[in-house]
Amino acid sequence: MKIKKITSAFLVLFLLLQWVNCEKKGSNILYPNQLPQTWIANIPTENTPQTSYFPLISISWKGGDDDGYIKGFYVRWNTYHLTRGDSIIREFHFTTATSDTIAFESSDDVNYQVLEVKAVDNKNGVDPTPATRTFYTTKVKSPETNILKPVQDGEYFILPHITDYWHGIPFTFQGSDEDGEVVSFSYQVDNEPWSEWISDTTVYITPGYFSMPLSGMHSLKAKAKDNTDVEDPTPAEVSFKLFEASFNKSILVLDETFNGAGNVFSPNDEMVDTFYDSVINRNIDSWDYTKDNGVPSKDILGQYRLLIWHSDDKDQNEVYKYQEYLSDYLNVGGKLFLGGWKILDHLVNEFPAKFTNDDFAFKYLRIARCDQQNVTATDPPDFIGGLAQNGFPDVNIDSIRVIPFYYGKLPYVNILTPATFAEPISVYHSAFNRPGIEGEPCALSYYNEVTRVIFLAFPLYYVKQADARSFMDKALEFLQE
């Protein structure tokens, strides 16, 4: 009898354990994952077309899950243009954020926006009934775009490949937006596809982006996009001409000296041309610069390996207008001999002056600082020539050519502080041996892997002809012509 009672107790315990185990095994069936829920904060509230919002709106949302936690959200917003009748339907995108500042597309007169948010739980369950907010946004004004470089109908040199000194065609643009803020730009080269959106306002267009041939007419377009994702519907465009320099000729001499009366104190073009023809012992071609004639086209300039530009009249100097012109030529391998009277005057506000790394005088002429003698009743002209430096000969002023009241001396000659890698090739010889002027550089030479440059801070025309010829012979040797 006792044995039967024990057996019955074990049987009851066994059945109880089996029932508990069955309950555990069947728990997933009895309690499936509960899907999350989603809420959008009560901003912005629904409105009417008459009370439309500006389309840049900050919105928050949240989710809840009774048997887990929220790991993210699917968000999208669709735009319905009620005046035009078209619409923009977007795909949901996943985010872990619980807020965002959204630029709702608003290019129509009446824009109806539908925002949807769906919470996602830790078991990838998605809210089957997205939280929705609807409202109207006002039409925004489109941004506008301007192109600063290249200029319309401009001319530019191009190489078939980039170098350390030529990085491509600089393309600079800017944007403005009357009721918002420009945040990015896209650009198009010739008829190629538009670029990705970028925040930079200057890019270099390398040769591979232009259609072939490189020499010829090309175009660039740019368009701005504002902080409401509205693009400029009328992109800015420029057309310009590119040239591959051939450098198949030797020397072009550009005469900028004023065409004077034709006497010894006021030489005319013929007198100046005759002087330079006599001191340049090479076959040369000439270009007479006038305000109407201007400088040679890039097509002409690119044929010559060396440009000799002289501006020997103290009252006429327009080199400063052509800094980009000369920079473009030097960057692709052209060489420059630049000399004359008061060339630096228009490049500085006052003397003494210091040049920065991006200044033409620093970057290409390699002048770090400069000064100039002030000519007054108590400070008369005193430059009587340049003394030899680094293998270049002495040069002495020819008093026969100098205006009488200068007494055989020249005023307005700069003294120069060379930048790195520049070498003095002539130093100031003062008639009065003035400290701070005597022995200071007044002409420099510079070269790198691409170009060679000589700069004279005095007019060569007023140097004795034999001295000028010897000096030019050495200069042409340095310039490898």
CATH number of the domain bearing residue 308? 3.40.50.880
Identify whether residues 305 and 397 lie together within a single domain: yes
Residue 9 has pLDDT above 80, yes or no: no
Q: How confident is the model at residue 239 (pLDDT cuts 50, 70, 90)?
A: very high
Question: Is the residue at 25 inside a domain?
Answer: no
Examine the domain organization and report whether 105 and 48 are in the same domain.
Answer: yes
At 21, the pLDDT band (50, 70, 90 cuts) reads low
Omega within 30 of 0 (cis) for the link into 130:
no
Check whether residue 239 and residue 253 sit in a common domain. no
Walk across the sheet containing 414-418 and list its strands.
353-354, 367-372, 414-418
Q: Which of 243, 263, 298 is the last residue of a domain?
A: 243
Contact 89, 78 (CB under 8 A): yes
Specify the pLDDT at position 258.
84
Q: Is residue 32 part of a domain?
A: no
Q: What is the mean pLDDT of residues 203-223?
A: 97
Final residue in a domain of this structure, among 186, 221, 243? 243
207 and 110 share one domain: no
Query: Over the stretch 79-119, which tens digit does the pLDDT of each residue have?
Result: 999 999 999 999 999 999 999 999 999 989 999 999 999 99
- pLDDT tens-digit map of 53-73: 999 999 999 999 999 999 999
Q: pLDDT tens digits for 284-305? A: 999 999 888 999 999 999 999 9
Confidence tier at 316 by pLDDT (50, 70, 90): confident
In a domain, 188, yes or no: yes
Into how many domains does the chain fold? 3
Q: Which residue has the higher pLDDT, 48 or 17?
A: 48
Whether residues 320 and 368 fall in one domain = yes
Residues 325 and 263 both lie in one domain: yes
pTM recorded for the entire structure: 0.81
Q: 9 lies in a domain? A: no
- Could you tell me if 51 and 179 lie in one domain? no
Chosen domain end from 243, 273, 305: 243
Specify burial of residue 212 (Cβ count, 10 A radius: 0-12, 13-18, 19+).
exposed
CATH of the domain at 50: 2.60.40.10
- Amino acid letter at 461? Y
Reading the block at residue 271, the tokens are 């007198």
333 with 436, same domain: the answer is yes
| Together in a domain, 339 and 453 | yes
Domain shared by 414 and 467, yes or no: yes
pLDDT band for position 14 (cuts 50, 70, 90): low
| Structural domain boundaries enclosing 238 | 144-243
The residue with tokens 């000659």 is: 413
Whether the bond between 213 and the residue before it is cis, its omega within 30 degrees of 0, is yes
One domain, residues 225 and 366: no
Q: Is the pLDDT of residue 142 over 60?
A: yes
Residue pair 310/254 in contact (Cβ under 8 Å)? The answer is yes
Alpha-carbon distance of 20 to 3, in angstroms, equals: 26
With helix as H, strand as E and coil as C, how does the chain read?
A: CHHHHHHHHHHHHHHHHHHHHHHHHCHHHHCCCCCCEEEECCCCCCCCHHHCECCEEEEEEEEECCCCCEEEEEEEEEEEECCCCCEECCCCEEECCCEEEEECCCCCCCEEEEEEEEEEECCCCECCCCEEEEEEECCCCCCEEEEEECCCCCEEECCCCCCCCCCCEEEEEEEECCCCCEEEEEEEECCCCCCCCECCCEEEECHHHCCCCCCEEEEEEEEEEECCCCECCCCEEEEEEEECCCCCEEEEEEECCCCCCCECCECCHHHHHHHHHHHCCCCEEEEECCCCCCCCCHHHHCCEEEEEEEECCCCCCCHHHHHHHHHHHHHCCCEEEEEECCCCHHHCCCCCEECCCCCHHHHCCCEEEEEECCCECCECCCEEEEEECCCCCCEEECHHHCCHHHCCCECCCEEEEECCCCEEEEEEEECCCCCCCCCCEEEEEEECCCCEEEEECCCHHHECHHHHHHHHHHHHHHCCC
Is the same domain home to 279 and 236?
A: no
Residue 58 lies in a domain: yes
